[in-house]
Amino acid sequence: MENQYFAHESAIIDEGCLIGKGTKIWHFSHIMKGCVIGENCNIGQNVVVSPEVVLGGNVKVQNNVSIYTGVICEDDVFLGPSMVFTNVINPRSHILRKNEYQTTLVRHGASIGANATIVCGNEIGEFAFIGAGTVVTKKVPAYALFIGNPGRQSGWMSEYGHRLHFDEEGIAVCPESLEKYQLTRDGGVVKLTK
């Protein structure tokens, strides 16, 4: 059966990978054994996807990204150029810790900026936005904007990637989609349905 995805001739794809229809894998990238990559993903140049990583549909991985074992990205996730995940909290060259890999979960629609580092064992919430160069060391709420080292919350983002400005009633409107968002009593944000 013919592949329903595109892989550049310089890409390496190990046996036992499941790669969805319409996915594109570009120059010098390595997809290692047991990976699951959804439909319509774009894997940029010089990307390493380690064994058993799971990427949902329509995930965009920019150039020079390392996605290590233990990472799960849901649908519509954006991984910016040269960002990196980790999978062991206390790595040492002389100590084998493959049985200590921690899970990192990136929820639907989240974006991670260029050169960001995601310390393992954390969850990045739906539609969260991690700024370029940020170091994530804790759980990130849905719709949160995180920046800095260590990463700290600096506001809220819409699903279209615009900073939200809340009125005195706790309502914000995305300037592009015109969708409304509300601050919740527990300190989070939810999108209001029409």
3-state helix, strand, coil in the chain (%, to 5): 0, 35, 65
Q: Once rounded to an integer, what is the mean pLDDT over residues 24-46? A: 98
Residue 84: closest CA among 49, 52, 43, 55:
49
Question: What is the model's pLDDT at position 70?
Answer: 96
Of the pLDDT bands very low, low, confident and very high (cuts 50, 70, 90), residue 193 is: confident
Q: pLDDT tens-digit profile of 91-140?
A: 999 999 988 999 999 999 999 999 999 999 999 999 999 999 999 999 99
Q: Once rounded to an integer, what is the mean pLDDT over residues 25-50? A: 98
Q: Once rounded to an integer, what is the mean pLDDT over residues 160-175? A: 97
Phi, psi of 189 (to 5 degrees): -135, 140
Secondary structure letter of residue 98 according to DSSP = G
Question: What is the model's pLDDT at position 194?
Answer: 66
Question: What is the model's pLDDT at position 124?
Answer: 98
Report the topology of domain 1-157: UDP N-Acetylglucosamine Acyltransferase; domain 1 (2.160.10)
Question: Any idea which of 4-13, 38-47, 95-104 has the lowest mean pLDDT?
Answer: 95-104
Report the alpha-carbon distance of residue 21 to residue 5 in Å, rounded.
Answer: 5
CATH 2.160.10.10 residue ranges for the chain: 1-157
pTM for the model stands at: 0.96
Q: Once rounded to an integer, what is the mean pLDDT over residues 55-60? A: 98
Question: What is the model's pLDDT at position 74?
Answer: 98
Amino acid identity of residue 173, one-letter, is V
Q: How far is CA 194 from CA 84, 90, 126, 181, 188, in A?
A: 37, 46, 19, 11, 19
